[in-house]
Amino acid sequence: MNHILEKHTLQDLLQSWRQDYDVYLPQKMENFSHFMPLTETSVLVDGDPHNTRIPPKALFLPMNEALVKFTRFGGYEDAKHEIQSRIVFGIRPCDAQAVQLLDTSFIQEDNIDPLWSERREKTITIGLGCHEPCQTGFCTTVGYGPFDRADLDAMLTDLGETYLVETFSEAGEGCFLGLPVASEEIYNQALDIQRSAHDQMPVAFETENLKGKLEQNFKSDYWDTVSQSCLGCGVCTFLCPTCFCFDIVDETQRRERVRNWDSCMFRTYSLEASGHNPRPSRVERTRQRLSHKYVYWLDQVNQIGCTGCGRCVRYCPVGLDIRAMLRQAQTLPFEVSHAA
């Protein structure tokens, strides 16, 4: 069902949810926005066309978390996590799609991450569509869009003084009970905004045959060229909503086994105990990063592993642009194979 939400009533609505849920929403943190718990004084950041700097995947896969607690006499037990029912409000469609993509890694038939799974089950996601897409975003190029509904319980479209609220699940509808139903005229106005936002986004690069070109040119000098400026800082992967590399370490002083975010762009990530490193330089690590998004994800789940959020473009300290890297990849030689 579609509802109308007056902006001046939003704060009261958010506060009312706190009776039954933990509520997270994008808020200002220094010069950036970040998903943080709602308090009495929280102010939603909704006018910024950019995403939060740290993606909301951190709400499902924390930067670090204890998995096991070691006891004094050599035993151990699972770390206890109090996971509450919650609402994540204002998530952008590219980030919601990214969480759904990560389900393919953390929720598999025979291998389910219990912490990820419980957080997913206890989370209601309410999206905020991008009526003014950010300059570094390219979601439409990779098959998504600024108003995609994937993995959302509800979505808001900014109409100026009001929001159109579209609900897609029983949980989403329950969050907006009592709001007036939107007229067909208002709904059509929102559709025009959604179409306009989609049409504003140019094609960043061509995806046809991109997978094959990257595969066939695995040993090409192309990788040397596109990795020359890279510092290996890992910002592109840490801020990526679909990257999920992690390391597990034993913190002896804390008596905990801890899972921490890691990055395939770090030299030590692929360093083996023997001392051998199959990705010894930034050339191989850049190849891994692009291939994972545009080759391996397609092999595994038949989807590109990038939702076009644009964070890696916006925050790269040396201005590396994945869109330009992939446009250059399209100039690589490619031979179409024919099945016998």
Q: What is the pLDDT of residues 222-278, one digit of tens each?
A: 999 999 999 999 999 999 999 999 999 999 888 999 999 999 999 999 999 999 999
Please determine, for residue 338, whether its predicted confidence score (pLDDT) is greater than 80. no
By three-state DSSP, how is residue 210 classified? helix
| % of the chain residues with pLDDT over 70 | 99
Only one residue has tokens 């609505």, namely 13
Q: How many CB atoms lie within 10 A of CB 112?
A: 12
Q: Which value, in Å, is the radius of gyration of the alpha carbons in the chain?
A: 22
pLDDT digits (tens, 9 = 90+) for 109-142: 888 999 999 999 999 999 999 999 889 999 999 9
pLDDT for 340: 45
- Biggest CA–CA distance in the chain, Å, is 69
Q: What is the pTM of this model?
A: 0.94
Q: Give the C-alpha separation, 114 to 107, whole Å.
A: 8
Mean predicted lDDT score pLDDT of the chain = 94
Domain boundaries, the chain: 2-200, 210-329
Determine contact, residues 4/165, Cβ cutoff 8 Å: yes
Nearest 10 degrees: Cα torsion 140, 145, 151, 155: 170
Residue 43 pLDDT exceeds 60: yes
**Residue 108, pLDDT above cutoff 90:** no
Give residue-wise pLDDT tens across range 136-195.
Answer: 999 999 999 999 999 999 999 999 999 999 999 999 999 999 999 999 999 999 999 999
What are the pLDDT digits (tens) for 86-103? 999 999 999 999 999 999
Residue 339: its pLDDT value, please? 52
Query: Could you give the CA distance from residue 153 to residue 110 in angstroms, rounded to a whole number?
Result: 27
- pLDDT average, residue stretch 54-62: 96
